[in-house]
Amino acid sequence: MEVSIDDVVALLDGRIEGASGVALTGFASIEDAGLGELTFLANPAYEAQLYKTTASAVLVPESLKLSAPVNSGTTLIRVDDPYVAMAKLMQAFANSVDRDPKLLIDPTAVIHPDAKIGAGVKVGALSHIGAGAFIDKNSTIESGVIVGQQAQLGEGCQIGPRSIIGRGCVLGNGCILQAGAIVGADGFGFAPTDSGYEKIPQLGNVILGDDCEVGAGTTIDRATLGSTVLGRGVKLDNLIQVAHNVRIGDHTVIAAQTGIAGSTTIGERCMIGGQVGINGHIHIADGSKVAAKSGITASVIKPNQTLQGNPARPIKEHQRTQLALRSIIRNFETKQD
């Protein structure tokens, strides 16, 4: 990477404060950045580092009022949101990496003759692309990935090592699967009989909207019939289970070790903490926020609530209950003494 600070300012629609024309060669944290490197200040807790850094450029909030002078060799780039601006810069850098056509397809990769691979697609060692699969341009398939028959990947997807995309599953543009993610495992469907359980074939698929990200070790089950659907911009952390026929609305984010039972619908722009358990066949309203380790056992009808507890309730109600319970316990212990 080598880019002029002026190009960075133009890309971010920022405002320069200091020397222009500076050459930038890389990124670093604000504690470690030095000559030629760009960093950012998003958390006020790190402001003291701004006055010590020797970075050539720092992204800072437009509203920041300096309490001390910065290093004479450091240029400030003022933007509305340094964290978002840094993310855009790093995306631009990642997308600018040269793709030598002679090095794109590893010789150990197996690509079915009926599969279609777009321009600039990279396929890593020991990956397998099934019959009728389609991978759009500039996507990256890392080592050991399996793309099932008739699966479709949009433009610019990044598929991490040892991930699996099952037959007929569809990923939109710009989707990211971290290492070991599975999209399209069989849903957990069994019919009880006198002699045990009869497996119900899972004939549906999984559809991911544009710009979804699926964390390492996360599994999204295919639908029994129809589709398991993640909307645009959904972000799933590591080790999450999404069961068959679940639907997750646009721009919802879910933290690690959460489990979602089958046929549940989660609305748009929800935020769900780690280790949350969500019952099947229920609906969670748009804008819901669920605290870590909570259990959602019934539908959440009112939008934009914050919920906590097991079973989860509005957070103020949960907190009042906890305070009352502690008071009862203290009174009981006092009487015991």
Residues that are catalytic: 244
Euclidean distance between CA atoms 202 and 225, whole angstroms: 7
Report the sign of the C-alpha dihedral through residues 27, 33, 38, 42, in that order: positive
- DSSP SS3 for 303: coil
Taking CA 203 as the corner, what is the angle to CA 201 and CA 209, rounded to the nearest 5 degrees?
140
Residue at token pair 């800072």: 60
Sheet holding 205-208, edge to edge: 116-117, 134-135, 152-153, 170-171, 205-208, 227-230, 247-248, 265-266, 283-284
Cis peptide bond prior to 314, omega within 30° of 0 = no
Q: CA geometry: angle at 111 spanning 108 and 117, to 5°?
A: 120
Residue the block writes with tokens 């197996």: 110
How does strand 122-123 pair with strand 75-79?
Answer: unpaired
The whole-angstrom separation of Cα 261 and Cα 282 is 9
Count CA atoms within 13 Å of residue 238 on its CB side: 6
